[in-house]
Structure 1
Amino acid sequence: MSPEKISVQVWNLFLRFRKTPWFRITYLVLLGLIVPNLLPFAAGGLGCLVIILVPLLVFLVPYYLGERSVRHFALNALPVLVIAILLGGALSTNLYLSQADAIPLASTPGAFTSPTMALANGTVAPYHADAPGEFTFRVKLKTTVDRMPGNFSVFMNLTTISGLAAYETSDYRMTFSAGPGSFTNTTLGTWYETRVNLTRQIYGYGFSVWDKDTNWTLTNLDFGPLTAPGANFYGLFVYFTAFSMILPFTFYYVILFMWWYTVRARATRTRMLGAEPQIPKETPKPKAAEAGPTKSEKASKATAFTCTNCGADVDESAEKCPKCGAVFEE
């Protein structure tokens, strides 16, 4: 079979498939698989672009494929949203649980960072473990002035997450940790350490340092150690993903409303411009009745002449007497 015939058959199969409800289900499932893969870009500088791109994608793909029903457009978002939330939660869960070691935490210049103190290489070990057990948190402090380790208060900030919105924060004081690369002069770099017993919960941790005056420096936060079952993480990330979908899909329904209103306004204007003006037709006036001869005229006409032969009344237009037959001369 030639390639041309194969392509024609494939195209015909596609056209038949397009007429079935499974075609709509297929592209909605594909959209649901694409949307959660765009969400990681929202964490960077492309957040606004993702918020706009996601609803445009969900609207334009069905529109390009021939969808014009407002009801279908309104319902299309629901399966896409459900698939995106469930898949997004699974992707985030897999991302964290497949991570072998903790990503080192560090302070970044900003509102929560003092220019004289910096924290780096904040980690927890072990990162994966079956709780309960003891976990070691370490972070390195470096300053711009000569100080001793005791001149600073360094804390490990632990957040315990239970349920979807319930959490508890705890601050653990860290102590100087002697060893290679750890100096008593903080300008050269000083390691701090603390050990904490933890159970099977979802934890988030970070570090902070105070110079016992007015200056603070904080690191960013991360999940860890990973001691909770995978189902717990999945439920939490499904909740986070659902919350992150509120703004994009609100914008989607704004787009849908604008499109519906534009189509409705255009249709109304078209009907108004295309309708013939309803001008009432002028009713023709009744023709005036022609005036006929009056009774006196008829009587006068009826008795215009008298026959001299028999005395009968004769009309003026008669040529002979209707009674005796005498012929009238002009």
Structure 2
Amino acid sequence: MRITIRYEASWRNSFLDGSNNKPLPKGGRTFVGSMTTLGKRDNQGNYPNFIKREITHDTVMGILNRLIGDQRKLYQSRNCPKYFFSGLEEHISFNDQQNQSEPINTETVYIRNMEGNTDQNSFTGMIKANDPVFRSDYSNIFWGVLTLDIENLCRFIIDESFQIHSPKQFDPLDALQKLDELNRLKAIDVETVKNALDTLQKRFSDVAYKIVDNKIKPIELYCSALYLQISRLSQKYDVSLALTKNGGLAGISKRGYTPKDFMDRYTTGSKKPIWGNPYQLKERRKGEGEVVSLLTKANGTLDILLNIPDDKAEQLKRMIDDAGVSSFYLGKKGLAYVDVIR
């Protein structure tokens, strides 16, 4: 017996972890299709969350069960004592022929994310420019740390008597813009800032600065310098209103900053939820440059071959006709339908 399935735009990627052949975890399967998660590498340098899928024996058995009207998970059907294909699965094979003449992954797909994640770089509400950290007697001296070049920044870190003279009055957007500029600076040799880095490591012994190839990103020094400055200013000013309940700077750690957390403190609204993102993986490959991998959509024909007794074949044909399934998904999405049963 042969059942020919034609399909279009069949998704060949998965954005959920775990297996469909096991009971759902209590909290459901985890969404791994966000931009942040897709870009995470494992110890071998691979991208385990960019999951590719092909048609397998389980896919075929899921289709056959769907065609006879069984909409349960495959593992549930297999565990049923009246499972129709019990003892027959080993006699079922398939041949998947993708249409190579049509492009299969030139379209960017946007995935709907309902986990309640928030945008890293956006905010909502009005900006509270009059927050004490921006409108106090010490504000210009505090944020002036960000206006120093790297040489004077090192002098400031090492020498407590170093005076900052900054006429610029910052507001939340100015501070965030300056942090973004500093974050784009290239890593510098550790030897050029060794004394300043040693001072910071003694002052903040719990902080593990990220040093790669004997280089460090300047943003780590600037953020630590802000903490150093607020500590020095606390000896002369009341800086309690500028700090969070935990005694830190909102959205700024001693090694970096997070825009959404920073602006959450200085806006009237809450963090901006993310409701979706393009499913794509950007990676740099040696000799190729930046390569963008998109979600694959395949078109083609699937032939399911059943080497089963005639009476079983007739019964299966009758059950398929009675169920009257017109179209169904092949994989997560797409359009599939029965073309011919012989």
Same fold (TM over 0.5): no
Larger relative contact order (Cα-Cα within 8 Å, sequence gap ≥ 6): 2
Instruction: Say which one has the larger Rg.
Output: 1
Structure 2-normalised TM-score?
Answer: 0.28
Structure with the bigger percentage of helix: 1
Structure 1-normalised TM-score?
Answer: 0.29
